[in-house]
């Protein structure tokens, strides 16, 4: 089995883009377009997301291994990695496990630590939607509203809702596996320190990267630097794409 991916851009250098939890390969489209003149871009659907295969397990090591198989399938011997949230954790795990493949590492608004559970209500609400009785996407939105107040987040989650062959509804996500494996997804990446160039990008208003995470970041990624995008939250790449894309482009270019 191979991960689904979208390919674009040109150039000899390669960049792998990895989305966050509940996301898909299209989430980092703006960055892919910004890098397209200088790099070959692969936007990847992680397992149990988007159009990629479904399995019952999904530890960080499992998902990093999926990415390794894809690189071998594509004949890619080295690449820069950019990951947001869960994708950032997968990218960090990949860098720990197979550093020889990684030229640069960009981690967007996530730290190499274990997090407390904070998606339980959202997962319960998504799992609780009776797809057989669902009349419309608006009906699903109304059911999610009890667990998620922000319309933009609900719209993001409902991108995973699609019509089935019978005209009903289905989740493109393997929602049952994500719910079952959520504790695995919260864990920290593991392995020897990755000593290559690493950029952490924090959203100013997001709590995902905190001062208390500094030691873990330094121990696991001793050559890292941290940049903050003011006026943004966890979805920094969507809230201020120009600033985010400029930081990533400059870092990959060696600036």
What are the 10-residue block averages of pLDDT along the chain, 255 residues in total? 96 96 96 97 98 97 98 98 98 98 98 94 92 91 90 93 92 96 97 98 97 98 98 96 98 87
pLDDT of 255 reads 57
pLDDT of 146 reads 86
Q: How far apart are CA 57 and CA 52, in angstroms?
A: 14
Q: Same domain, yes or no, for 111 and 26? A: yes
Q: 104, 119, 234, 237: which one is catalytic? A: 234
Give strand pairing partners of 202.
228
| Count of the separate structural domains present in the chain | 2
Q: Same domain, yes or no, for 138 and 213? A: no
- pTM score, whole prediction: 0.96
Q: Same domain, yes or no, for 131 and 223? A: no
pLDDT of 254 reads 87
Q: How far apart are CA 86 and CA 6, in angstroms?
A: 19
pLDDT of 11 reads 87
The neighbour count for residue 219, using CB atoms within 10 Å, is 10
Q: How far apart are CA 126 and CA 129, in angstroms?
A: 6
Q: Same domain, yes or no, for 172 and 203? A: no
Of the three residues 180, 200, 224, the one that is the final residue of a domain is 180
Three-state DSSP state, 154: helix
Q: Same domain, yes or no, for 207 and 162? A: no
In terms of residue numbers, what domain contains 203?
5-115+188-252
Q: Same domain, yes or no, for 160 and 236? A: no
Q: Same domain, yes or no, for 135 and 195? A: no
pLDDT of 248 reads 98
Most distant pair of Cα atoms in the chain: their distance: 54
Q: 85, 96, 97, 237: which one is catalytic? A: 85
pLDDT of 187 reads 97
The answer to whether 234 is a known catalytic residue is yes
Q: How far apart are CA 244 and CA 255, in angstroms?
A: 14
Cβ atoms 82, 31 nearer than 8 A: yes
Cβ atoms 216, 224 nearer than 8 A: no
Of the three residues 135, 153, 180, the one that is the final residue of a domain is 180
Specify the DSSP class assigned to residue 166.
T
């Amino acid at each position: 089995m191979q991960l689904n991916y979208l390919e674009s851009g040109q150039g000899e250098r390669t960049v792998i883009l990895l989305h966050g939890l509940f996301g898909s390969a299209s989430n980092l489209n703006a960055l892919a377009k910004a890098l397209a003149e200088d790099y070959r871009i692969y936007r990847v659907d992680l397992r149990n997301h988007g159009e990629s295969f479904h399995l019952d397990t999904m530890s960080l090591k499992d998902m990093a291994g999926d990415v390794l198989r894809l690189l071998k399938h594509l004949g890619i011997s080295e690449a820069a990695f950019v990951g947001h949230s869960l994708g950032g954790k997968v990218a960090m795990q990949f860098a720990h496990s197979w550093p020889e493949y990684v030229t640069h590492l960009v981690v967007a608004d996530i730290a190499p630590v274990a997090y407390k559970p904070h998606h339980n209500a959202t997962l319960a609400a998504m799992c609780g939607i009776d797809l057989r009785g669902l009349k419309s996407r608006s009906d699903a939105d109304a059911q999610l509203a009890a667990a998620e107040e922000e319309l933009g987040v609900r719209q993001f989650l409902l991108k995973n809702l699609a019509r089935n062959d019978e005209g009903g509804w289905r989740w493109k996500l393997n929602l049952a596996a994500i719910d079952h494996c959520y504790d695995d997804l919260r864990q920290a990446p593991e392995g020897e320190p990755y000593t290559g160039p690493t950029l952490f990008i924090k959203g100013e208003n997001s709590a995902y990267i905190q001062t208390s995470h500094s030691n873990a970041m330094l121990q696991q990624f001793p050559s890292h630097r941290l940049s903050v995008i003011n006026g943004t939250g966890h979805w920094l790449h969507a809230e201020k794409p120009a600033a985010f894309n400029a930081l990533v482009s400059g870092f990959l270019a060696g600036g």
